[in-house]
Amino acid sequence: MVAVRDEDLVERAAAGDVDAFEALVAARLNRSFRTASAILGSEADAHDVVQEAFVATWRHLPKLRDRTRFDGWLNKMIVNRCRDALRRRRRSREVGLDGALDLRSEDSTGPAADMAALSSAFDRLSVDQRHLLVMHHLHRVPVAHLARELGIPEGTTKWRLHAARAALTRALEADR
């Protein structure tokens, strides 16, 4: 069997080939879900976001000019959908609909408390900061690859990673 290059799959999918798009989705579904889940802190929301992102990707794929940038473009779709989900969540909390969903305990001790503190601090980061930390630390994406996906210089990517880590540290210290 001959391996099909991603660029060829993207080209075929952009022309309306459903099988090619399904192959692209299958290769990226788990990572996309893990990214959205880490950013949102909710598997249910992550499922919705990933589905929305893939539908939008299919719909807008013919508009993608540089077919080699598919992965970065898809990540941007997912991050934007995460941002929208967090806005919706914030609005619903403001009217009191989600208050009962916060299961973190104030009197927890040990590793669970550490995870709760980390989760709380992570929730206060921007979506872009969460995305960078998830991609680099959870998915082990090298800085050079992140920079290419984001379309920014490596130095800028390193600086943004540093700033995201510093923001997380400040948020953790604020909880102490």
DSSP 3-state helix, strand, coil percentages of the chain (rounded to 5)?
80, 0, 20
Confidence of residue 92 (pLDDT cuts 50, 70, 90): low
Give the mean model confidence (pLDDT) for residues 2-31.
90
Tell me what the mean pLDDT of segment 26-51 comes to: 94
pLDDT at 94 exceeding the cut of 60 = no
**pLDDT value at residue 102:** 32
Which letter does DSSP use for residue 151 in this model?
A: T
pTM beyond 0.85, yes or no: no
Question: pLDDT-based confidence at 176, cuts 50/70/90?
Answer: confident
∠ CA 4-6-12, rounded to 5°:
80
Q: Please report, as a single letter, which amino acid is at residue 44.
A: A
- Residue 99: pLDDT band by 50, 70, 90 thresholds? very low
What ranges do the domains of the chain cover?
1-102, 106-176
In the predicted structure, residue 25 carries a pLDDT above the cut 90: yes
CATH class of domain segment(s) 106-176: mainly alpha
Residue 108 has pLDDT above 80, yes or no: no
167 and 131 Cβ atoms separated by less than 8 Å = no
**Pair of tokens at residue 81:** 């959908």
pLDDT computed for residue 43 by the predictor: 92
pLDDT in tens, 118-168: 888 888 899 999 999 999 988 889 999 999 888 889 999 999 999 999 999
What CATH number is given for 1-102 in this structure? Answer: 1.10.1740.10
